[in-house]
Amino acid sequence: MFLVQRKTVPLSLIEEKWVDLALPKEQFDDLVRIGSFGGDTITDAMKTVCEILTADPEGGPARIPFPLFKDIYTYLAQIDGEISQQQINDVMQYLKYDVKNSFFPDKQDGYVQPRNFLSPECPKLSAS
């Protein structure tokens, strides 16, 4: 057995990335207040991200644009340090097909929702 040393990222660096993505500051503050994103896994974090950043009404599908999901998930996965680039690519490939494919070009109008990445067919977002 071996121990994996996790990296700690300063909150200011995450906030800087958030601002670079032109996301609303009040939503960043909400995420910080939530703390652990409401769970222990990156999957829980991404579900909460979708719920906070969606333009859908409360109780709706909590969709966010695929490029936004990709940027946030990739960033968090790289910070995690245990998620391989191949795993990130597999998740993105699956979701990209689910969101838009050649048979149904506007299947979800380019949006990802939690049901897409919570599906048993989707590669796991986390390393374990």
Q: Is residue 1 part of a domain?
A: no
Residue 19 lies in a domain: yes
Is 123 contained in some domain? no
Is 3 among the domain residues?
A: no
* Number of domains, the chain: 1
DSSP assignment letter at 65:
E
The pTM of the full predicted model, rounded to 2 decimals, is 0.68
127 domain-assigned: no
pLDDT tens per residue, range 44-71: 889 989 998 999 998 899 999 999 999 9
Query: What's the domain range around 99?
Result: 11-118
Report if residue 6 sits inside a domain.
no
- Residue 124 resides in a domain: no
* Cα-trace Rg, the chain: 15
Residue 128 belongs to some domain of the structure: no
Q: What is the pLDDT of residue 125?
A: 94
Q: How many CB atoms lie within 10 A of CB 66?
A: 20
Summarize pLDDT for 13-48 with one digit per residue, the tens: 888 888 888 888 887 877 776 555 445 688 988 998
